[in-house]
Amino acid sequence: MKKKALWIPSVRDIATSNLNHLKVNINNKYGTNLNDYNSIHQWSINHKEEFWVTVVEKHPVIFHQTATSTLQLGKHPIETKWFIGSTLNYAENLIKPVEDVPEAIVAYTEEGIRNSISGKELKIKVAQLAAYLKSKGISQGDNVSAIVSNSIETIIAMLATTSLGAVWSSCATEFGEKGILDRLEQVQPKLIFCSSNYIYAGKKHDISKKVKAVMQRIESINECIDLSNHCEYFTLLKSALENHKEVTAPIYVPVPFDSPLYIMYSSGTTGKPKCIIHSVGGTLITQIKEHKYHTNLSKGKRTFQFTTCGWMMWNSMVSSLACGAGLLLFDGNPFYPTPNILFDLIDKEGCYAMGISPKYLLTCDKEGVKPIDSHALKELRIITSTGSPLNEQCYNYVYNKVKKDVCLASISGGTDIIACFLASNITLPVYSEELQCKSLGMDVQILDEKGNTIVNQKGELCCSSVFPSMPIGFLNDNADQKYKDAYFTTYENKWCQKDMAEEVVHDKGTNGLIIYGRSDTVLNPGGVRIGTAEIYRQIDPINEIVESVVVGYTNADKDVEVILFVVLKEYLELNDALKTTIKTNIRNGASPRHVPNKIIQVQDTPKTLSGKVAEKAVMNIINGFANTQKDTLANPDCLEEFERIKKEQFKVYKD
C-alpha cells in the first residue's frame, strides 16, 4: 500500500527554496538537466569537486587565499585534502554576514530575561576579547577550552578564539569534575572560559569550586575568564573587554583550510572520550551547505536549537550565522517555568526553524502541551529533530497539536562528522518515521554484510566516498589507528557509521530512510537482527512510561533474549496489566520477535553527558562484560541498580 505523506511542500515552497536556486545554478553552469532531489544528490556525488566549488562560490565563502586545487585523494580516505592552498578564517565567515543585522543573537534565561546583540556589537566585542586573548599569548593552533552555558557571551568567546586561529572545545556546565578532566586533560588548554553561575529548573548553581579544581589539576591552564561575571577568583569577562575597549575590528588570522577548528568529544561509554579534531574549512562549508540548502536558512530568518555546549548541535547552531540568519538561544530546562516555554519563545521571536529532540516532543505530548490551540507560530516552517529517530507518536503530535503546515524532519549524523548524513529538505514530502533524504555531498549507502548496496532491506549506514567534514584526526592518535578503527574496519575505505538503517523507495525523487538504532547494540534473537529503535517506537506512546532502555542478554543456549528496563511515572509500579500492554503494543506494532523476554522496572537509565541513553553500559553489566567507565556518564550511580539486578536475575555465560 502506498504510504501517505503527512506534509507536502507547496509549489511556491519549492520554487523559492535555496535548493531550487542551487539546482538552477548547476544546470546553467554545467549544462545539466537536474530535475528532482535524487538527481541533484547524485550529481553532488559524481561531481564532488564541482559541487563543493559551487557551494563555496555561490555562498560565497570568504577566502584570504584561493585554492590551487579542490580535491587531492590519498591512499586512504583520511588522507584526503580539500581546497589545497586556500586560507580563511572561521569567525570572519560567521560575523561578516550578520554585521548589519539589528539583533544577530537573542538569548533568554529561565527567568524570562531577554538579552540581544546586534551584528555590529558582536563584531566589536569579539575584537575586544580577541585582543585580550592575544595579550595573554593565545595564537594560531593553541587550545582554548570552555565549561559554559548556552549564552551570547559563549558565542563571543568562541568567535574571539577562532578569529585568532586558535582551537575551541567546550563542555556543558552540568558535566562532573571527572568528566571535564577526562576531556581537558587530553586537550591541555592554555586558557579556559567558564560560566561560574547559572540557573536550571529554577535553582542557582555555582560551579566555581569545580572549575578551580580543574585548573589545579591541569598545569597548562594559565587563566580562566568567567563569562557570567560572577566569581572574582577568575578574570571577569567585563574586565577583559574593558582592557581593550578601544579595539573595534577583529584581526582575522587566515589559516589553511585543513587547520584545526574544534575538538569534539565522543560519548566515552567504553573509556575516556576520544578527542575528534575538525577542520576550519571542512566544518564551515559543510555546515553552510546544511543550513542553506537543507534547512533553507537565509538572511532575515531566525533559527533555534535546544542544546547545551557539550553537544555538537551547539557548534552547528552557531554556524547558522554564516547564512546571515539570526540565532535564538535558551539556557535552562525546556519545561521551566512552564511546559510551553520554548513554543512561547519561538512564537514571540518569529523563528523560521526549530531544533529539538524526540524526547522533547514525547514529553510535550504527555504533558498536554498543545500549541496549535494557543500559538500562531506564523514564521515556523521547519522543525528538525535529532538524538534518536522520531517515532509515529512524534509525527502525530506535531501535525495534530503543534502545526499542520510545517516540515518535520528527523536528521542523523553526529559528533564524528559535525554534520548530517541524513538531512532535512524543505522541498520533499514528510513520511512518518522516515528521514527525508541523504545529505548533499554525502555518498550514503545502506550495505549488507558483503558490502553490497541494498534498498528496502536493513543494513549498515555507510558513506562510500570522502567528504570535507571528515575529521582531520584524533588527538594523540598514533598513525591514526583509533581513527581507522572507529570507522573503517567494517568495510574497506568506506566510512561505517554503525547505524542500522534502510532505504525505502517512494515516488521518483523521494527515497526515504529509516534508522533502527545503533548496529553495535542490535539485538539478535533467534538470528533475526532487530534495531532497538523498533521497540522504542512501540512503547514511547505508553503514558505510564517515562523512559526505557532495551538490550540483548546472551543465555546459556547462546541465543539472545530481549530485556526491557522501564522507568515509570512517579508512584507507579510495574504490574501484569502494564506488562501486557507493553507486550501487545510491541507485538502488534513490530513483531513477536521484538517482544521482550523480561520487563523490569528501574529508577533511572544511564545517560551519556550529551543526554543519550547508554545502552552499552546496561548490556555490558547484565552480560558480565567489563563495565563502562562510570565517570563518562551523567548519572553513574544508577548503574548500581543494574548491578544488583544482574546478580538477582541474570547468570553470566562466557566461553
Does 409 score more than 90 pLDDT? yes
Give the C-alpha separation, 615 to 520, whole Å.
10
- CB of 162 within 8 A of CB of 144? no
Q: Which amino acid is at 484?
A: K
Confidence band for 271, pLDDT divided at 50, 70 and 90:
low
pLDDT digits (tens, 9 = 90+) for 10-36: 999 999 999 999 999 999 999 999 999
The per-residue pLDDT of the chain, averaged, comes to 93
Task: Provide the H-helix boundaries in 444-558.
Answer: 481-487, 532-539
User: What is the distance of C-alpha 545 from the center of its chain?
Assistant: 25
Query: What average pLDDT score do residues 443-456 get?
Result: 94
The pLDDT assigned to 405 comes to 97
Q: What dihedral do alpha carbons 40, 46, 50, 51 form, nearest 10°?
A: 40
The pLDDT assigned to 272 comes to 77
The pLDDT assigned to 629 comes to 57
The pLDDT assigned to 625 comes to 81
The pLDDT assigned to 28 comes to 96
Which cell numbers in the block locate residue 101?
543585522
Pairing of strands 598-601, 197-200: unpaired
The pLDDT assigned to 273 comes to 85
| Torsion-angle region of 59 (φ positive above 0: left; ψ -120 to 50: alpha; else: beta) | alpha
HEC secondary structure over 293-327: HHCCCCCCCEEEECCCCCCHHHHHHHHHHHHCCEE
pLDDT digits (tens, 9 = 90+) for 598-608: 999 999 999 88
Confidence band for 654, pLDDT divided at 50, 70 and 90:
low
| Torsion-angle region of 271 (φ positive above 0: left; ψ -120 to 50: alpha; else: beta) | left
For the ranges 32-36, 384-388, 406-410, 464-468, the lowest mean pLDDT is seen at 384-388
Does 269 score more than 60 pLDDT? no
pLDDT digits (tens, 9 = 90+) for 78-109: 999 999 999 999 999 999 999 999 999 999 99
Q: What dihedral do alpha carbons 627, 628, 634, 639 form, nearest 10°?
A: -20
Confidence band for 165, pLDDT divided at 50, 70 and 90:
very high
Contacts of 469 (CB under 8 A, 6+ apart): 278, 279, 282, 283, 286, 287, 417, 418, 419
- CB of 216 within 8 A of CB of 90? no
**% pLDDT > 70, the chain:** 97
The pLDDT assigned to 53 comes to 97
Query: What average pLDDT score do residues 116-132 get?
Result: 98
pLDDT digits (tens, 9 = 90+) for 199-241: 999 999 999 999 999 999 999 999 999 999 999 999 999 999 9
Contacts of 576 (CB under 8 A, 6+ apart): none
Query: What average pLDDT score do residues 285-307 get?
Result: 97
Contacts of 103 (CB under 8 A, 6+ apart): 116, 117, 118, 326
Does 255 score more than 80 pLDDT? yes
Does 493 score more than 90 pLDDT? yes
The pLDDT assigned to 652 comes to 78
Give the C-alpha separation, 88 to 270, whole Å.
37
Confidence band for 71, pLDDT divided at 50, 70 and 90:
very high
Query: What average pLDDT score do residues 549-571 get?
Result: 88
Does 628 score more than 70 pLDDT? no
The pLDDT assigned to 555 comes to 85
Does 463 score more than 80 pLDDT? yes
Which cell numbers in the block locate residue 195?
560560566
Does 315 score more than 60 pLDDT? yes
Does 509 score more than 60 pLDDT? no
The pTM score is: 0.90
- CB of 501 within 8 A of CB of 447? no
Which cell numbers in the block locate residue 556?
546459556
The pLDDT assigned to 534 comes to 85
Of 405, 357, 415, 358, nearest in space to 382 by CA:
405
Q: Is the dihedral of CA 592, 594, 598, 601 positive or negative?
A: negative
Give the C-alpha separation, 56 to 83, whole Å.
10
Angle between helices 48-58 and 280-289 (to 10 degrees): 80
Of 362, 355, 364, 357, nearest in space to 393 by CA:
362
Which residue carries 507485538 as its cell? 587
For the ranges 332-341, 556-565, 635-644, the lowest mean pLDDT is seen at 556-565
Give the C-alpha separation, 383 to 357, whole Å.
10
In Å, how far are 126, 197, 329 from 229, measured between CA atoms? 17, 8, 19
Which cell numbers in the block locate residue 363?
514529553
In Å, how far are 123, 387, 397, 564, 633 from 601, measured between CA atoms? 53, 24, 27, 9, 20
Does 655 score more than 60 pLDDT? no
- CB of 551 within 8 A of CB of 606? no
Specify the 3-state DSSP secondary structure of 233: coil
Query: What average pLDDT score do residues 555-584 get?
Result: 90
Give the C-alpha separation, 223 to 489, whole Å.
41
The pLDDT assigned to 525 comes to 79
